Structure 1
Amino acid sequence: MGFFQTRKAGAVVLAAAVLFGVFFGSHRSLDAVRSDVWTIFEGEGNGSGHGVKGDLETRRAVGSNLYNLLNDWNYLSPDDPAMATLQDAVGACLVDSTDKAAQEDLVQAIDQVLSLTEGLDGMREEHSKYISNFRAQLKSIENTLSRDPYTAAAKEFNETTLGSFPASVLGPLTGIRELPVYQ
């Protein structure tokens, strides 16, 4: 019990308190900035009420509709590897539409299936228009994502806030990760 009454114990307690304060304070301040950017993602902080999350969910719906229509129209079989990949990618986005890797897989799968539709013989004109509309909708989503305020704010958070010292060291140590940037 005598140890706690020494200068050494006081120094240890003071050092522990300072370290705790640095880590806890860093986490709180970085998390607050990250949360502000995330509200833009949800559509709450950008003034329009429209967020990236809605665009990602629309992209998933386009992939699902593309799969269902091509299957219903008997242009591509569900057993086709590209169709199976698209179905898996849509399913992964259903689990978490904000998962950046799942979104990237979905974009690749949709592109692959759309490229297969270009070479299909005997496609009815009305079906071809649906496919063209899917392409246009996906380009629109891509354009919207590239200009969305969230994208700029997430890039700034990742590069400026987390990219500078001491946040570049303390951020990962306190569980603060980069925000996903969707394209």
Structure 2
Amino acid sequence: MPRRLFKRYMPDPMSIREHKSLRFLGTLLHDPNLWHLNRHSVARAMAVGLFAAFLPIPLQMLLAAILAIIVRGNMPIAVSLVWLTNPITMPAVFFCTYQTGAWLMDVPARQLPDSLNWEWITGEISTLWQPFLLGSVVTGLVLGALAYFLVMMYWLWWVARQWKRRKKSRM
């Protein structure tokens, strides 16, 4: 597990707890699962981080942090996963989520015009927002759940592999 690598770059939990602007949260940030790297907290962080990443809303990082507190997942991992949808990847990701939503709603997906302008966007937003929002939520839920189970399975495989190596080296 690249646990040492993660720990090297993760913020110090004590410094975050004592930060002036975060004191209003009280003891919410004192849960060890928010900062430890264990199978459950990392899997939960992957799930909520990917879910928040695919939502087309502002303040995705804040949502990921709140969800990490609620599900007791690793907060730095959840918040950092939101950056999968950055300004460079966002158009492609949101186009795919729109296509997914249009497919789920069984409506024909609209084609982009040759020259994208504000007039076209404001005229088409009434037909685009429902498939886009549905596709974003469904994609976030599916990929979040998939990431949760993949992390759990990978972690168990890694631990079993390490045990086998230890057992083999003792003989």
Q: TM-score, with normalisation over the residues of structure 1?
A: 0.24
Larger Cα Rg: Structure 1 or Structure 2? Answer: 1
Q: TM-score, with normalisation over the residues of structure 2?
A: 0.25
